[in-house]
Structure 1
Amino acid sequence: MNSQNSEFTLEVEPTFQRLVSVADTDADKKITVEDQKNPDFYLIDSNGKKVPVQRTYYLSNLLQELAQARAEGKDSLSITLDEIQVPPSRRISERIENFFWDDLTRTIDREGITRILEDTKASDGVQRIYVPYGDQEGIDYFRDLQEELGFEMVILPEEITPEYVKSINTKPGILALALEDGEGVPFVVPGGRFNEMYGWDSYFEGVGLLVDDRIDLAKAMVENFVYQINHYGKILNANRSYYLTRTQPPFMSSFVREVYEAMAEDDKEWLRTSLEAAVKEYEQVWMEEGKRLTENGLNRYFAEGLRIPPETEEGHFEEVLKEFAAKHNMPVDEFEQKFQEGIIEDKALDQYFVHDRTLRESGHDTSWRLENRAAHLNTVDLNSLLYKYEKDFAYLIDEYFEGEFIHSSGRVYTPEYWSKKAETRKKLMNRYLWNEEEGSFFDYNFKKGEQTGYISATNFYPLWSKMASEEQAQKMVENLMSHLKATGGILSSAKVSVEQEATNEVQRQWDYPNGWAPHQMLLWKGLLHYGYEEEAQELIYRWLWMITRNAVDYNGTIPEKYDVVDATHKVYAEYGNVGTEFDYITTSGFGWMNASYQFGLELLEPEYIEELDELTPPDQIF
């Protein structure tokens, strides 16, 4: 019998210990390219023949399988050489589909609450659940559980103000989500230290879930968004108490449309409820004049709140606070305390934190693109996303509601109404954001009356929302490929823009040289919308090649972000890189990274998948 097909029956613990002693030479609980090469590991087949396992990738695969068996309490493991030497794209994809999504799934109920509460975010040592004033079912449910499970339930006031949110920042807690038949409606978390439901992460995770036919889970996440809109007034940055005044980039209409069109059953009531909530969010969150709607008719991010954002890492604002403490002639610690307590007033510092909270609401925390000006910008990304809302609403009402949607507010919406809104936004974007000379859209500073000129992946969102003309798209694609294409995919921003805008040496994580999953996914689809197949295939390949090579070389690592210039997961900007800390096997990867891999594989041509499994560098292909 061919050794490839022979089944090896391994004693889990002895084999695990022998493998670690031979191959994990730096004792970091992983087998990576940084370990010393040692060819002396072998398995014994049924004929007593020694079969060597030598390559780092194969050794780390075996380690992962043994670690999985160990975690499941197995004494023995049956495995073939084919299973150890599986093509990397297939192995990564299968682990995402069969393990990672389940490990990232949470519920806020009797079964799942402990896992969410047992993290490091309860700074005062008390675990809390905040429940909306109007959710009587949730209030009754968590009241009955709090003593048994050892947490404190707090009922939020009917009106949630920035002053109230600041008052509970020293008493942080998780925010309740939807219940159905006495069980929490499930959702996917990003992973690592992010143990809650995040706003725009959820849409991209949903794209991956739909690829993997996990429609019920994607549907449940939309239902949690509906709950957030109806009870918290917005889709939250994340369901933590200190995010109550902050939303995230809007993807609700896309999420609703894509989930509904993937559903096997024609659940019109589900669509009606979801569309109602999406329209409510559009009207009440984004179109309230003086807040996120500006005088020129375009939108901005604008996070409310008071003083210093409490979720940031210690020392994050050290340089800023030093400057203002010196201005007030006092030590930094004393100044910070008095500023937080409102004893010291400083309008300039207040304005800095308006921009900082707004930058975080944009999802791009942080970037020199938005530093100290975020609340003054009509951004390309936000207005592209709202254009997509308007087009989606027109389509859904026309396609599924016979051209008329009667909202519970009493308003009657038609496709023509939304199409007109979209056309108006398109004209305004072309007026204020489009730069014919540069062949690009740019963020517009409405306080200064000028475009920023900052070259960012977000400038290309009009391709995804299908707002750009064919002529604009041609120029934009040329710019995308010349300014933002890197070894491992699309850069978050151009090096030249960072050099022009940075006021110190701090590297922002949403800037050059880093790349992020949502940018890749949106721009792949945008390129395909306009028929740029070759460019899309190249950028998909570059991204998947980088992920695959890093996973092969580093024990299956699927992290939060990458340096796409050096094509490495070793990113140390600001908060480091979530998803790199694990022992022997990663059980969850990172939410939108998992999704980007599955989505990319679905779009990539078979000939390139073969090259991917050979780890052929992209510059040898394109």
Structure 2
Amino acid sequence: MTDSRSLGKASRPVFGGCALVRRITATAALIGLSIGSSVAGQQATPAPPPPSVVLAPFFEEVALSDLFPDGKLWADAEPRRASAEILRDYSGNRPANDAALRAFVAANFKLAPPVTQQAQPTFGLPLRAHIRELWPLLTRSTPTTPSWSSLLPLPNPYVVPGGRFTEIYYWDSYFTMLGFGPEQAKLQRGMVDNFAHLITTYGHVPNGNRSYYLSRSQPPFFFKMVELTNPEHPAKAFAAYLRALKAEYRYWMNGADRLKPGQAAARVVRMANGALLNRYWDDRDAPRDEAYRVDVTAATASGRTASLVYRNLRAGAESGWDYSSRWFADGKSLGSVRTSDIVPPDLNSLMFGLEGAIADGCAELHDQACVTIFRGKARARASAMRRHLWNGTTGLYDDYLWTGQRLLGNVSAASLYPLFFRVASQAEADSTARVVERELLKPGGLVTTNITTGQQWDAPNGWAPLQWIAVGGLRNYGETQLAETIARRWLTTVAKVYADTGKLLEKYDVVTLRPGGGGEYPLQDGFGWTNGTTIGLMKLYPGVPGSISKPAITASGDSAARSTPWP
């Protein structure tokens, strides 16, 4: 689908990675169609359809009922028998009321508890020891999966985030791996191989290993995970995984060669001047299986074409920032979401890094033609980012509304990605640092945006991956004091909340140094990327409070924040 609407090298960075400066609708028609591009001349495996298609219309009735406050629990439910049999019984004797519907679901589906209900770590440990004990509790092995499950098999064990997230997640995994030690080397390599397997199988890395995630990806951090397998010689690692890296690049750039200026196709936008940049997208325009009622409610309230709202909600999920004022036309309402109209600096910084990684891998293999092509692509992207995404008024890299040909004036932690991947000039980095310090630095670390909306990717929340990107990006440009301030404040927040609750959480309120809030689902603990970045930052800044913090113990001897019992 095409939108047609108006509209050198550097020394190896400390954090940034590479040497280079760098509608498928919700119908049964989805069955048998391949998602993603071909890999090395071979067509990607047909994508298994999601539960909303396989179980239609029964899935929708349950999803829109009050049976599951969290829709993901329903999307993840494992059928006890073939869907055709379930649908036959449903059609022949439809449940007459909620109680009958609940009984039908219970008789035909298994519901899995959240990860942190399945096992509990020892309470009272220092934070670092607690994280070490969490790794095996968060590790899963699913080389085969039940016949009718939405879970996709993976050849090697992997770490899940925790809580409601019982499968692997794409961009989470890079930040999770930052906390691995030598004893997790095999696990880390296996996880990287899992992602390469997903690319080879489906043509891309999906959001997670669920059938309902196959229509989209997440921020493309695969090359950064590859780099972790050989940090001293990253080019060798890139060369070893070059086939998968190139295949992922084809996925993100699919359709670029057909675009005229001012057009977009899938994840690519050709700017008015002919430059190519990327946006977030989803190949489907139906409610998300895992948030079906949320999406239908938002679309109904919006007054807009429902499929347009669904597509943009899905694209927002691909961004990882689900959701943020960055994606809203009115700055506050889910129904105004317009993610696919926006060219973001974080995604394009990642694409710059991927282009550089491919060039470095090709150089290792002495493929000069490939080196020339991908270094040229990276230089062209950096130039396009500087021209279109640099906001001289706000003094940082900004989100660009390609359908309106204007910058949006968003102040967010996404502006630090061009520093992390060394796209920015020194002057741009200096300016970004000052704006970030003034607008986003809070007592507990870096806040996600300077706007409070009730969405989880807005103020007052801070997120572990954004702290890592900020610290690394600032260090790359000599802003060491601000980098250390962010790291220490964040680690203090993590340590304080751990001392209060005995948990590591998905997100934190960096204004009050308390657990975070907002969004579509309750706060989750576990938590993969918080664990990983905490260890990573402790290594950079030893002696911080987090290295010695222990959880408070209640009079009963239990941690003050044991998870509530599984219903």
TM-score, length-scaled by structure 1: 0.62
Instruction: From the superposition, tell whether residues 173 and 319 of structure 1 become closer, same or farther in structure 2 (CA, over 3 Å).
Output: closer
Q: Which residue of 2 aligns with 1:404?
A: 367
Q: Which residue of 2 aligns with 1:320?
A: 299
Specify the code of the residue in structure 2 equivalent to 1:282.
Y
2:279 counterpart (293, 297, 300): 300
The answer on whether the counterparts of 1:442 and 1:459 sit within 8 Å (CA) in structure 2 is: yes
Instruction: State the shift of 1:273 in Å.
Output: 4.7
Instruction: From the superposition, tell whether residues 551 and 473 of structure 1 become closer, same or farther in structure 2 (CA, over 3 Å).
Output: same
Question: Matches of 1:366 and 1:610 in 2, distance apart?
Answer: 29
Q: Which residue of 1 aligns with 2:142?
A: 108
1:389 counterpart (341, 346, 354): 354
Question: Matches of 2:171 and 2:454 in 1, distance apart?
Answer: 23
Instruction: State the shift of 1:320 in Å.
Output: 3.5
Instruction: From the superposition, tell whether residues 517 and 68 of structure 1 become closer, same or farther in structure 2 (CA, over 3 Å).
Output: closer
Aligned to 2:268, the other structure's residue is in SS state coil
Instruction: From the superposition, tell whether residues 267 and 314 of structure 1 become closer, same or farther in structure 2 (CA, over 3 Å).
Output: same
Q: Which residue of 1 aligns with 2:509?
A: 563
Instruction: State the shift of 1:258 in Å.
Output: 2.0
How many residue pairs match? The answer is 412
Specify the code of the residue in structure 2 equivalent to 1:564.
V
Aligned to 2:154, the other structure's residue is in SS state coil
Question: Matches of 1:417 and 1:438 in 2, distance apart?
Answer: 33
Aligned to 1:228, the other structure's residue is in SS state helix
Specify the code of the residue in structure 2 equivalent to 1:177.
L
Instruction: From the superposition, tell whether residues 231 and 508 of structure 1 become closer, same or farther in structure 2 (CA, over 3 Å).
Output: same
The answer on whether the counterparts of 1:367 and 1:510 sit within 8 Å (CA) in structure 2 is: yes
Alignment deviations for residues 60-94 of structure 1 (CA, whole Å, 9 cap, x no partner) = xxxxxxx8689xxxxxxxxxxxxx7x7xxxx1112
Alignment deviations for residues 556-594 of structure 1 (CA, whole Å, 9 cap, x no partner) = 211111111111015254312101xxxxxxxxx300000
**Higher RCO structure (Cα 8 Å, ≥6 apart):** 2
TM-score, length-scaled by structure 2: 0.68
Q: Which residue of 1 aligns with 2:164?
A: 193
> What does 1:470-485 correspond to in 2, within 5 Å?
470-485=426-441
2:230 counterpart (247, 260, 282): 260
Question: Matches of 1:215 and 1:292 in 2, distance apart?
Answer: 33
Q: Which residue of 2 aligns with 1:354?
A: 311
Instruction: From the superposition, tell whether residues 68 and 443 of structure 1 become closer, same or farther in structure 2 (CA, over 3 Å).
Output: closer
Q: Percent same amino acid at aligned positions?
A: 31
Question: Matches of 1:235 and 1:252 in 2, distance apart?
Answer: 8
> What does 1:221-370 correspond to in 2, within 5 Å?
221-261=191-231, 272-289=239-256, 290-296=265-271, 297-312=276-291, 314-315=293-294, 317-322=296-301, 324=303, 348-370=305-327
Alignment deviations for residues 587-609 of structure 1 (CA, whole Å, 9 cap, x no partner) = xx300000111011011154x45
Q: Which residue of 1 aligns with 2:184?
A: 214
Instruction: From the superposition, tell whether residues 247 and 368 of structure 1 become closer, same or farther in structure 2 (CA, over 3 Å).
Output: same
Instruction: From the superposition, tell whether residues 469 and 387 of structure 1 become closer, same or farther in structure 2 (CA, over 3 Å).
Output: same
Specify the code of the residue in structure 2 equivalent to 1:404.
D
Question: Matches of 2:182 and 2:134 in 1, distance apart?
Answer: 11
Instruction: From the superposition, tell whether residues 543 and 307 of structure 1 become closer, same or farther in structure 2 (CA, over 3 Å).
Output: same
Q: Which residue of 2 aligns with 1:600?
A: 537
Q: Which residue of 2 aligns with 1:342?
A: none
Instruction: State the shift of 1:261 in Å.
Output: 2.8
> What does 1:18-37 correspond to in 2, within 5 Å?
none
Instruction: From the superposition, tell whether residues 235 and 312 of structure 1 become closer, same or farther in structure 2 (CA, over 3 Å).
Output: same
Aligned to 1:390, the other structure's residue is in SS state helix
> What does 1:76-87 correspond to in 2, within 5 Å?
none
Instruction: Say if 2:173 is the partner of 1:202.
Output: yes
Specify the code of the residue in structure 1 equivalent to 2:470.
L
Instruction: State the shift of 1:386 in Å.
Output: 0.5
Q: Which residue of 1 aligns with 2:423?
A: 467
Instruction: State the shift of 1:208 in Å.
Output: 1.7
Instruction: From the superposition, tell whether residues 271 and 69 of structure 1 become closer, same or farther in structure 2 (CA, over 3 Å).
Output: closer
Instruction: From the superposition, tell whether residues 389 and 323 of structure 1 become closer, same or farther in structure 2 (CA, over 3 Å).
Output: closer
Question: Matches of 2:444 and 2:358 in 1, distance apart?
Answer: 35
The answer on whether the counterparts of 2:238 and 2:358 sit within 8 Å (CA) in structure 1 is: no
Q: Tell me how large the CA RMSD over aligned residues is.
A: 2.6
Question: Matches of 1:291 and 1:457 in 2, distance apart?
Answer: 25
Instruction: From the superposition, tell whether residues 359 and 323 of structure 1 become closer, same or farther in structure 2 (CA, over 3 Å).
Output: closer
Q: Which residue of 2 aligns with 1:457?
A: 413
Question: Matches of 2:121 and 2:193 in 1, distance apart?
Answer: 33
Instruction: From the superposition, tell whether residues 212 and 542 of structure 1 become closer, same or farther in structure 2 (CA, over 3 Å).
Output: farther
Question: Matches of 1:222 and 1:611 in 2, distance apart?
Answer: 28
Instruction: From the superposition, tell whether residues 298 and 517 of structure 1 become closer, same or farther in structure 2 (CA, over 3 Å).
Output: same
Question: Matches of 1:611 and 1:252 in 2, distance apart?
Answer: 29
Instruction: From the superposition, tell whether residues 301 and 572 of structure 1 become closer, same or farther in structure 2 (CA, over 3 Å).
Output: closer
Aligned to 1:539, the other structure's residue is in SS state helix
Question: Matches of 1:378 and 1:69 in 2, distance apart?
Answer: 45
Question: Matches of 1:205 and 1:245 in 2, distance apart?
Answer: 24
Specify the code of the residue in structure 2 equivalent to 1:464.
F
Aligned to 2:414, the other structure's residue is in SS state helix
The answer on whether the counterparts of 2:443 and 2:511 sit within 8 Å (CA) in structure 1 is: yes
Question: Matches of 1:468 and 1:272 in 2, distance apart?
Answer: 26
Specify the code of the residue in structure 2 equivalent to 1:195.
T
Instruction: From the superposition, tell whether residues 212 and 439 of structure 1 become closer, same or farther in structure 2 (CA, over 3 Å).
Output: farther
> What does 1:130-141 correspond to in 2, within 5 Å?
none
Q: Which residue of 2 aligns with 1:39?
A: none
Question: Matches of 1:473 and 1:68 in 2, distance apart?
Answer: 41
Alignment deviations for residues 201-239 of structure 1 (CA, whole Å, 9 cap, x no partner) = 111112222x56522211111101111111111111011
Question: Matches of 2:302 and 2:469 in 1, distance apart?
Answer: 39
The answer on whether the counterparts of 1:206 and 1:218 sit within 8 Å (CA) in structure 2 is: yes
Alignment deviations for residues 288-328 of structure 1 (CA, whole Å, 9 cap, x no partner) = 3222111121111111113211111644542532454xxxx
The answer to which of 389-398 and 589-598 deviates more is: 389-398
The answer on whether the counterparts of 2:235 and 2:357 sit within 8 Å (CA) in structure 1 is: no
1:418 counterpart (364, 374, 398): 374
Q: Which residue of 2 aligns with 1:343?
A: none
Alignment deviations for residues 266-304 of structure 1 (CA, whole Å, 9 cap, x no partner) = 996x75452210111102333432221111211111111
Q: Which residue of 2 aligns with 1:158?
A: none
Aligned to 1:312, the other structure's residue is in SS state helix
The answer on whether the counterparts of 2:139 and 2:160 sit within 8 Å (CA) in structure 1 is: yes
Q: Which residue of 2 aligns with 1:152?
A: 147
Instruction: From the superposition, tell whether residues 610 and 517 of structure 1 become closer, same or farther in structure 2 (CA, over 3 Å).
Output: closer
Question: Matches of 1:320 and 1:69 in 2, distance apart?
Answer: 44
Specify the code of the residue in structure 1 equivalent to 2:348.
N
Aligned to 1:369, the other structure's residue is in SS state helix
Q: Which residue of 2 aligns with 1:176?
A: 153
Q: Which residue of 2 aligns with 1:373?
A: 338
Specify the code of the residue in structure 1 equivalent to 2:137.
D
The answer on whether the counterparts of 2:170 and 2:205 sit within 8 Å (CA) in structure 1 is: yes
1:532 counterpart (465, 471, 479): 479
Instruction: State the shift of 1:437 in Å.
Output: 2.6
Specify the code of the residue in structure 2 equivalent to 1:387.
F
Q: Which residue of 2 aligns with 1:63?
A: none
Aligned to 2:514, the other structure's residue is in SS state coil
Question: Matches of 2:178 and 2:511 in 1, distance apart?
Answer: 26
Instruction: Say if 2:127 is the partner of 1:92.
Output: yes
Question: Matches of 1:227 and 1:560 in 2, distance apart?
Answer: 27
Question: Matches of 1:253 and 1:476 in 2, distance apart?
Answer: 25
Aligned to 1:298, the other structure's residue is in SS state strand
